[in-house]
Structure 1
């Protein structure tokens, strides 16, 4: 997946997240099911952002960005802010 594909996927997920949050706020959907779906979406989004940042860093310092692979969700979610 190249940078443009990652950015396109992030944009899709951000739109889906926004739609889900609006639906949850309006009470138009089953809350339990959609909260679980939202959690999965948030974790995938974090994973994509991590991949994009690491690819950009690799390229900036002369490395091959195609050598960077997505990290497991558990690893990405365990980062300290």
Structure 2
């Protein structure tokens, strides 16, 4: 597997882990979430925004013949609240 595909696979795996953790926390909604749990959900949402953005950057670079390894994580202030 090429390095680019390996990195993309790692990124997709990370997205899956974050989604699972976020879902698990949200399913605990039957009881009131602690401030720590609410804070963690916000952190997960930001991390997911960054991961999705990075994945899109990598795929766009590859599609247009550019090096996907040049894609960089952008600050949460730039990618926060992206529409999926």
Superposed pair shares fold, TM > 0.5: yes
1:33 aligns with 2:71: no
Partner SS state of residue 2, structure 1? helix
Q: Which runs of 5+ in 1 are unaligned?
A: none
Give the alignment of 1:44-63 within 5 angstroms: 44-63=47-66
Q: Which runs of 5+ in 2 are unaligned?
A: 1-5
| Superposed CA RMSD | 2.1
Instruction: Say which of 10, 14, 27 aligns to 2:19.
Output: 14
Taking structure 1 as the reference length, what is the TM-score of the superposition? 0.87
Task: List, as ranges, runs of 4+ consecutive aligned residues in structure 1 with deviation greater than 4 Å.
Answer: 78-81
Taking structure 2 as the reference length, what is the TM-score of the superposition? 0.84
User: CA shift at 1:75, angstroms?
Assistant: 1.0
